[in-house]
Amino acid sequence: MNNKGQNTLFFSIIVGVLIFLIGVIFVNFITPEVTNARNVDNLDCTNSSISDGTKLGCLVVDIAVPYYIITIISMAGGIITSRFLIGR
């Protein structure tokens, strides 16, 4: 592998790690909003007699943080992996 290939591999690893770190930092901003949306004043997800639409809303709000984390890991891993597969 020539020097140019090693530089692009190093750059893609740095960009992948940067995207992962930025994503992890933004999780701290999303989590309180999810907690606030599930609150008694908003969706009232702890109540057992809520409508089906509200239950669906609670499920969508609950899946937001794990979906965001999986998306960030997939993006960072994809950038790094693409350099290994395509960059040669």
> E strand or H helix at 59, and its extent?
helix 52-86
* Closest CA relative to residue 69, chosen from 37, 39, 28, 35: 28
* Closest CA relative to residue 52, chosen from 31, 60, 32, 39: 60
The reported pTM is 0.70
Categorize the per-residue pLDDT at 8 as very low, low, confident or very high, splitting at 50, 70 and 90. Answer: confident
Q: Which residues form the domain of 72? A: 3-86
Contact 55/38 with Cβ under 8 angstroms?
Answer: no
Gap between the Cα atoms of 8 and 50, Å rounded = 53
For position 79, what pLDDT does the model report? 84
Q: What is the mean pLDDT of residues 54-77?
A: 91
Q: How many domains does the chain have?
A: 1
For position 5, what pLDDT does the model report? 61
For position 40, what pLDDT does the model report? 87
